[in-house]
Structure 1
C-alpha cells in the first residue's frame, strides 16, 4: 500500500475496487487526441479509474476518505456498464495495517455518488448494514439533502440503498469544517452541488484532495472538466482557485480515481517535481 506523509499526518491508500468509464465523458468537450496523450483508453474508449479510499491517520484517529464501490453491491448489469473488473477489499487492506472496520473513527465523503459510497454498506443476512459502525460519516449538508431527494439527473447515482443503513451516522456541515487539526473539508460544488475537497496542512507541508474536480493527474488543465459535472462552470471556477492555492503552497495533489498516481506535486511552472506512483 502506498503512503504519503504531510508533516505528522499519514495517508495510506486502500483497495476500493476499479471501474472503467467512457473517456469522452471523463474529459468532457476535450478532443480524444488531446486527453489520450495523458491518459490511455481501452478498445471501448474506457479509461481505468480506481476507487481507492485513503486512510488518514492523525492524533490517534483513523479517518477514511470515501468508501469504494463495495463488494457485491452492484448487479451484473451495473458491473458491465461501469466496467468493474475488481471490487472493494477494504477489510483485507485494513487487516494488513492491524485494523478492523470497527477501528475507523470518521468517514469523509467528498460527495455521495455510488462509486464513492457503496462500500460503506454490505449485505448481512439479506439486509444492508454499515461496514464502519463506529464511524461518524461527514459530508456537506447540500450533498446529504440531494442524496435523499435526488433530481431527475442525479437519481441515477444517488441510491437510497447507499444512505438508509448509515443515516444515523451522518453528520453534515456548511461551508467548511476542520475534522481534526490540520484536516479541513471545504464545500466547493461543481461536480455535484454538494461536492467537497480536503485540505491537509501540517508542519509547513500541504496536500489538496480535489476529489472529482480533478479525478486524475490528467485533469490538471483548469478547463478539462467532466461531462458528469452537474455545474461545470463552478468546477472550472473552483479548480482555478484551488490549483492556484496548491501552486502557492507547492502542495501535493492526491487522487482517489487515478490509475497511475496516488499523488503528484507540481511547481509554479506546472512541471512535475514529485509523485507517488500506484503499485500494481
Structure 2
C-alpha cells in the first residue's frame, strides 16, 4: 500500500498469549470466546504486528515487539516461543535490515511494544536498530520509570533505559508532526501519553490502533482491556476517534488482532464495527 510518499508494510513480530478476561474486560466469556478461542489456561492469542513506512528518505518502524530477552518462566507464562527476533526476520522478508531503519516510534513502553528495541550481547544491552532515532512521549517515559502498582509489571527498564543511555531516545511533548504526512496523536486511557501514528494524504488515512483497539472487537464501547489505567478516558477516546475515522473514511491498522490486519469502519444501530478487510503490504 502507498500513502503519499510512503510505502506501507506490515511487520510481523510473532505472537504471545494473555488472559482472555483481561483482554475483554467486562465482556462475558460466552460472548468473546465466539471470536477468540482460549486455551486451557484461559489465554488468548495476541499478535505482535508493527508497521514500516518507507519513503521521503526515511524508514520508520512503529513499535518493536517483544524481542528475545526473556526467561524460560516468562516465555511459559506468555506462551512466547521465538528464538530469533521475528521483527528483524520480517524486515528481511521485504529486503530490509535492522541497520536500514532511520526512525522508531514507540507508542508506549510496555514490554510487548518495546522489547525488541534492544539486544543483549557481551553482557550488555545495545540498541537493536543501530542507526535509528527512537521517539517516545516524555510523560510516558517518566511514568515508565515510576509506574503504579497496577501497571508496573508491564514496564521492563532494560527494554528502554539502554536507549536513553545510548543517547538515541528523543522525548516528545504532546501532539507531533513528523512531516506533512505523518502525525502522532496522544491517548491517555491505556497508559500515560500513548502516541499513535496516522499516515495520510489527500485520499487515504491509516491509523495505527496500538492498545486503543487491540482487536476489532474493541470497537464495542464497553470492551476495554483490564490493563487500562483510566477506562473512562479510554471510553471517550475510542468514541472520539471512531467518529472521526468513520466520517473521514480512515483505515484502522491493528497491532494485536490475529485475524485482522487492517479494516475500514461501518456504523449500525449498535455503534461502530469493522467493515472491509484492507490488504496491507
**In 2: Cα distance, 1:143 partner to 1:59 partner:** 28
Q: Given the alignment of the two structures, is residue 180 of structure 1 paired with residue 179 of structure 2, yes or no?
A: yes
51-60 or 251-260: which moved more?
51-60
Once the two structures are superposed, residues 115-149 of structure 1 have per-residue CA deviations (whole angstroms, 9 ceiling, x without a partner) of 10010111111211111121111111110111222
In structure 2, the partner of 1:81 is 77
How far apart are residue 25 of structure 1 and its match?
0.3
40-49 or 99-108: which moved more?
40-49
Once the two structures are superposed, residues 6-38 of structure 1 have per-residue CA deviations (whole angstroms, 9 ceiling, x without a partner) of 344322122312111111100111111122223
In structure 2, the partner of 1:233 is 232
Q: Given the alignment of the two structures, is residue 189 of structure 1 paired with residue 188 of structure 2, yes or no?
A: yes
* Contact 2:197/2:207, CA 8 A, preserved across alignment: yes
Cα RMSD (Å) of the superposition?
Answer: 1.9
**In 1: Cα distance, 2:249 partner to 2:280 partner:** 21
SS of structure 1 residue aligned to 2:247:
helix
In structure 2, the partner of 1:200 is 199
SS of structure 2 residue aligned to 1:161:
helix
How far apart are residue 41 of structure 1 and its match?
2.2
**In 1: Cα distance, 2:96 partner to 2:136 partner:** 24
Q: Given the alignment of the two structures, is residue 38 of structure 1 paired with residue 48 of structure 2, yes or no?
A: no
Once the two structures are superposed, residues 65-87 of structure 1 have per-residue CA deviations (whole angstroms, 9 ceiling, x without a partner) of 1011002x110111111121336
**In 1: Cα distance, 2:47 partner to 2:144 partner:** 22
SS of structure 1 residue aligned to 2:13:
coil
**In 2: Cα distance, 1:278 partner to 1:34 partner:** 29
**In 2: Cα distance, 1:260 partner to 1:6 partner:** 23
Q: TM-score, normalised by structure 1?
A: 0.92
**In 1: Cα distance, 2:279 partner to 2:38 partner:** 19
In structure 1, the partner of 2:118 is 121
Once the two structures are superposed, residues 153-187 of structure 1 have per-residue CA deviations (whole angstroms, 9 ceiling, x without a partner) of 33212112112211111112222001232111111
**In 2: Cα distance, 1:158 partner to 1:260 partner:** 27
Aligned length, in residue pairs: 275
**In 2: Cα distance, 1:173 partner to 1:164 partner:** 16
* Contact 1:174/1:187, CA 8 A, preserved across alignment: no
SS of structure 1 residue aligned to 2:120:
strand
**In 2: Cα distance, 1:164 partner to 1:271 partner:** 38
Equivalence map 1:38-77=2 (5 Å)? 38-71=35-68, 73-77=69-73
* Contact 2:175/2:185, CA 8 A, preserved across alignment: yes
Q: Given the alignment of the two structures, is residue 110 of structure 1 paired with residue 112 of structure 2, yes or no?
A: no
Which consecutive residues of structure 2, in runs of 5 or more, have no partner in the other structure? none
60-69 or 167-176: which moved more?
167-176
Q: TM-score, normalised by structure 2?
A: 0.91
* Contact 2:10/2:280, CA 8 A, preserved across alignment: no
SS of structure 1 residue aligned to 2:162:
helix
204-213 or 237-246: which moved more?
204-213
SS of structure 1 residue aligned to 2:257:
coil
How far apart are residue 277 of structure 1 and its match?
6.5
SS of structure 1 residue aligned to 2:23:
helix
* Contact 2:185/2:195, CA 8 A, preserved across alignment: yes
Which consecutive residues of structure 1, in runs of 5 or more, have no partner in the other structure? none
